[in-house]
Amino acid sequence: AQKVTQAQTEISVVEKEDVTLDCVYETRDTTYYLFWYKQPPSGELVFLIRRNSFDEQNEISGRYSWNFQKSTSSFNFTITASQVVDSAVYFCALSEMNTGNQFYFGTGTSLTVIP
């Protein structure tokens, strides 16, 4: 079973629109960590955010915001007023303490922002 599910394979939005990327995870651990990474067309992987299972506070960083809800096992990522430079593949990932910090990535969501 997939531990991290990113159901949206590809999304296209027009510049300045808001967009939300969904991430649903599955774990039995009480201590775990969730991450988002960005992979622009150049191919490198860029860390965006890390959240631990005890911290359900939502976070905002500029145009980026993250909504962590343990009740629905979701960790969604919203880009406000999207820009062309946001075009990339975005990965959600899970790390579980009880498995010795093995990492599980979702299959990624490819976001295209159209000018």
Partner 1 sequence: EAQVTQNPRYLITVTGKKLTVTCSQNMNHEYMSWYRQDPGLGLRQIYYSMNVEVTDKGDVPEGYKVSRKEKRNFPLILESPSPNQTSLYFCASSKIPGQRNQPQHFGDGTRLSIL
* Number of residues in contact with partner 1 under rule CB under 8 A: 25
44 near partner 1, rule: CB under 8 A: yes
Measured from the CB atom, is 81 or 111 closer to partner 1? 111
Nearest-angstrom CA–CA distance, 66 and 58: 6
Report 59-88 residues binding partner 1 (CB under 8 A): none
Q: Are strands 32-39 and 88-96 parallel, antiparallel or unpaired?
A: antiparallel
90 near partner 1, rule: CB under 8 A: no
Print the binding letters for residues 94-113 with partner 1: x by CB under 8 A, - otherwise.
-x-x--xxxxxxxxx-----
- 113 Cβ contact partners less than 8 Å away, ≥ 6 residues apart: 12, 13, 14, 15, 82, 83, 84, 85, 86, 87
Structure tokens, 1 = 């079973």
Q: Give the residue carrying structure tokens 């010795």.
A: 100
25 near partner 1, rule: CB under 8 A: no
Interface with partner 1 by CB under 8 A: which residues? 6, 9, 31, 33, 35, 37, 43-45, 47, 50, 52, 91, 93, 95, 97, 100-108
